Structure 1
Amino acid sequence: MSVTVFAPETEARFARARCVADAVLFEGCALHPYRRPAAEHPLRRQVGLLVPPGRSTRGEEEYDFQHTECLMEPGPDATLAVELRFLRARRRTVLRAHADGTFTAVPELRLGDRVLAARDEGTVERVEALATVAELVEGDGVTVDFARPAVQDSEPVLDEDGRGAGMLVRRCEEIHGTLRLSARRLDGPFRLMRLTAVVENTSRWAPADEEAAGRSPVLARSLVATHLLLGLSDGSFLSMTDAPEWARDAIASCRNLHTWPVLAGADGRADVVLSSPVILGDHPAVTPEPPGTPYPLVAADGALTPDGVRAATGAAPAEGFPDEYGIAQPGGGPEPTGGPAPGPLPDQVLVAGRPVRAGSRVRLHPGLRRTDAQDLFLRGRTATVESVLHDVDGSVHLAVTVEDDPGADIRRAQGSFLYFRTDEVAPLEDES
């Protein structure tokens, strides 16, 4: 097994899947306006969050691993290319400068037409590996340990007159993780194998950190929006929802925890898989952005989902496979363990004993453990529910537009919404 930069042909095959992952996991509606080349992403929707192992034992709807299983028929000399991608949290602290040369940390710094706020950002990290099928089958397979050291940098802030007004300090904490890959040949007349890929966060964790500073220390040592790209140099993967009859039992035996694998290559090809915490259909694709469209569109038949993304399936979805899925922060709930994708999902949910559906009005109470500074400004505001969403771990989320938002019609047309858990809203008594 070797860890290396992928060859151009592998990069080209992964390009399509990366675009989809960027749209639904990294970007979505998190950036306003949408900027494709952005190097950092405000961590507002913590989807695919793998926390440090000490944190995951606290029983608070958090976990430190993802477990992917899918079927493949590799060629005799096939090589598996694997790319683990995630956002690494980076805390941006805002300091105000004083006349005596000292600095003080502040929630925000107002400079003319600019407001610089303290927040958690995310930078894209990649871990790449190449392994032959023989290496995957032998013993316990292959293991790739990775680490990122703590990093801190600073940037002076000047006011409109060019004078020093403060400083931005960005810090990343040290993180560690492990990628485990293995394969097992299955009985039968075909060259069928079950591929297993496990991602673990092995970062050190001291619970006292969170008690002292809130949510940021957890994010700083977590892998955010974690997902995998898997590519075969020779051979093909089998669809989890549209496999041939002879492979149905083997598909049903696959275990997928906190993630779901789909075919992600071009239509007609089955050599690339995207395994992510968002449930998509096979062959999702990002549509070209029309002039003036600030958000990414992942489309099937030109339709939009919440967040401006859609699971594009090159063919009709399999029976029982819902054609619209939520894209939101995972939480607790039943875990998919293989077999066909979940059946049709309810379009309403009970909140405080009252049904909430598209069109319902709610009051927002963002949870302190799942918000950033921007969400706190929404506390107590009223909003309209646009849709009820479900994620891969069985949690329910509400896509909403804030009332009195002058851009609400634009956001609604583009499918760009804010997302809240059901315990972060209260139904309004006058909801019609």
Structure 2
Amino acid sequence: MDAVEKIARACLYEGYLLWPYRRGALKNAQRWTFGGVYPQRCGELIGEPSRMRTEVLLRGSPAAKLTVHVRFLQVIDRQVYRNGPTGPVPVDELRVAGHNHLTWQEATERRWVCPPWSPRRGPRTSTVDIAAGSDREALRSESGSVAGTLVRSWQRLTGKVRLSSVPVTDTVMRVTVDVRNTSPCPLPAPGARGARDAMAPYSFVSTHAVLNTDAGRFVSLTDPPAGLREAAAACENVGVWPVLVSEDPQAAQSSPHYSSAVLSSPITLYDYPAVAPESPGDLFDGGEIDQLLILSVLSLTPREQDEARATDPRAREILDRCASLEPEELAALHGTIRAFRPALEAR
């Protein structure tokens, strides 16, 4: 996985599930907190955004082409059924063959990729349309009989992505990526308790975009060059914060104001963010220290681990990954020397 993909993925799953990675934990009572784009009419009623807007400055030839990737999570409802005498019965929890299965919500990744687009050709609008669906997973007992079923279902999602640009100077243009959610959804009662959670399956969650150009350079909005500060300040971003990204680990020093790629993140980052190479994998909490989180995971009781494994397949992956770490890998999380520098001379 390349460096830009790693940081984009970290944004996608930030806050997805927090330690102790259990459904019953208070931390996980409210989810889907970053980058939500809700259907417009529903968003207005529950006070949530229905669009994501990215504006960045592109310096270079008018013939430059851009590739835009928009990615988000789609919420999936997971319902557990127990096989009863009269048929399947929905239940909150079911233990089969020594494993617990819980009714809750999961998520799957969705990605929209814009074909190469030249701003000089004018605006382009594309549609996103994800069909509703479901799948079933049989839960078999140790004897092989079907004791229950997991049913995962998701709603239809539709949206529009509009790309446009306006000139700022002869060599600089302002590029806009506007993402709107047009999904059909039932209207919640104004002020209804739990309305936000009920609308989550109709929303784009953790929405973000990655922009690349083949013949130009994006301008830093965090630290723009002196001549473009006013133009950078005039960029209107809604629900996102664009930052420069690069595969080059030295880019922050060699090119602090420009890059050929931008990550439009739902959380505030600095230019050229990166995931530490010592990090063994996603923990869904970039504000915490990996070593402390991993030690906390390893200290969970067997009962807590069992609930975490039943909560989400990705929580199960975290537990397995932490348990398989070698002592050398744990030691590397304690501290790493990146570089040495000369000590100051004594005065």
Fold-level similarity (TM above 0.5): yes
Deviations 1:201-237 (A, max 9, x none): 0111221599698555411110000000000011100
Matches within 5 A, 1:10-89: 15-26=2-13, 30=17, 44-58=31-45, 60-89=46-75
Deviations 1:181-218 (A, max 9, x none): 1111113xx50111111110011122159969855541
**1:108 corresponds to which letter in structure 2?**
E
1:277 aligns with 2:257: no
| 1:196 equivalenced with 2:203 (yes/no) | no
Whether contact under 8 Å (1:29, 1:295) holds in the other structure is no
Cα distance between partner residues in 2 of 1:79 and 1:193: 13
Mapped to 1, the partners of 2:16 and 2:202 lie a distance apart of: 24
Stretches of structure 2 that go unaligned for 5 or more consecutive residues are 22-28, 292-309, 312-332, 335-347
- 1:50 to 1:307, Cα distance in 2 relative to 1, 3 A: farther
Contact 1:54 1:206 in 2 (8 A): no
User: 1:240 and 2:221 equivalent?
Assistant: yes
TM-score (norm 1): 0.58
Match of 1:250 among 222, 231, 243: 231
- Please state whether the residue corresponding to 1:23 is helix, strand or coil: helix
Q: Which residue of 1 aligns with 2:326?
A: none
1:98 to 84, 105, 109: 84
Structure 1 residues 116, 43: closer, same or farther in 2, change over 3 A?
A: farther
Asked if 1:128 is matched to 2:113, the reply is yes
1:288 matched to which residue of 2? 277
How far residue 31 of structure 1 moved from its aligned partner, in angstroms, is 7.1
Q: What is the match of residue 423 of structure 1?
A: none
**Offset of 1:71 from its aligned partner?**
0.6
Query: Aligned in 2, Cα 1:275/1:213: closer, same or farther, shift over 3 Å?
Result: closer
TM norm structure 2: 0.72
Between structures 1 and 2, the one with greater helix share: 2
Structure 1 residue 264: Cα displacement: 1.2
Tell me, in whole angstroms, the C-alpha distance in 1 between the residues paired with 2:94 and 2:189: 26
Residues 1:284 and 1:77: Cα distance change in structure 2 (over 3 Å): same
Q: CA deviation at 1:306?
A: 2.4
Residue 159 of structure 1, CA deviation: 2.0
- Do the aligned partners of 1:86 and 1:225 also contact (CA within 8 Å) in 2? yes
Measure the CA separation in 2 of the matches of 1:263 and 1:175.
30
Q: Structure 1 residues 207, 106: closer, same or farther in 2, change over 3 A?
A: same
Kindly tell me: are residues 173 and 151 of structure 1, through their superposed partners in 2, closer, same or farther at Cα, counting changes over 3 Å?
same
Q: 1:43 to 1:27 in 2, by over 3 A?
A: farther
1:27 positional shift: 5.2
- How far, CA to CA, are the matches of 2:103 and 2:57 in structure 1? 45
Distance in 1 of aligned mates of 2:284 and 2:139: 35
Find the residue that maps to 1:203 and give its secondary structure.
coil
Asked if structure 1 preserves the Cα contact closer than 8 Å seen for 2:97 and 2:140, the reply is: no
User: Are residues 64 and 76 of structure 1, via their aligned partners in 2, closer, same or farther at CA, if it must alter by over 3 Å?
Assistant: closer
Shift of 1:21: 2.0
1:86-132 Cα distance to aligned partner (Å, 9 max, x none): 001111111011134x0111111123532111111111111111211
CA drift of 1:77 comes to 2.6
Question: Counterparts of 2:119 and 2:91 in 1: how far apart (Å)?
Answer: 54
Matches of 2:153 and 2:197 in 1, distance apart? 11
Deviation at 1:258, TM superposition (A): 1.1
Q: Is the 8 A contact 1:29 1:307 kept in 2?
A: no
Q: Is 1:117 aligned to residue 108 of structure 2? A: no
The AA in structure 2 aligned to 1:127 is W
Give yes or no for contact 1:50–1:201 (8 Å, CA) kept in 2.
yes
Identical residues among aligned pairs (%): 32
For the aligned residue pairs, the C-alpha RMSD in angstroms reads 3.2
**Distance verdict in 2 for CA 1:169–1:81, change over 3 Å:** same
Query: 1:305, 1:118 → 2: CA distance?
Result: 28
Relative distance call for 1:94 and 1:252 in structure 2 (3 A) is: same
In 2, the alpha carbon distance for the partners of 1:43 and 1:162 equals: 37
- Give the number of equivalent residue pairs: 279
Counterpart contact for 2:38–2:49, Cα < 8 Å = yes
Which amino acid counterpart does residue 201 of structure 1 have in structure 2? N
Provide closer, same or farther for how the CA distance between residues 152 and 17 of structure 1 changes in structure 2, counting only shifts above 3 A.
same
Q: CA deviation at 1:295?
A: 4.3
Task: Give the Cα separation in 1 of the matches to 2:209 and 2:282.
Answer: 24
Q: Is the 8 A contact 2:68 2:113 kept in 1?
A: yes
Residues 1:56 and 1:308: Cα distance change in structure 2 (over 3 Å): farther
Q: CA deviation at 1:243?
A: 1.1
* Contact 1:237-1:273 at 8 Å conserved across structures: yes
Residue matched to 2:147: 165
Residue 207 of structure 1 aligns to a residue whose secondary structure is coil
Summarize the alignment of residues 239-388 of structure 1 with structure 2, pairs less than 5 Å apart.
239-266=220-247, 267=251, 268=254, 270-289=259-278, 293=280, 295=282, 305-306=287-288, 308=290
Once the two structures are TM-superposed, the CA of residue 296 in structure 1 deviates from its matched residue by 5.3
| Counterpart secondary structure, 2:13 | helix
Preserved contact between residue 53 and residue 205 of structure 1 (Cα < 8 Å)? no
Code of the aligned partner of 2:204: L
Segments of structure 1 that go 5 or more residues without pairing to the other structure are: 1-11, 35-41, 299-303, 310-372, 375-413, 416-432
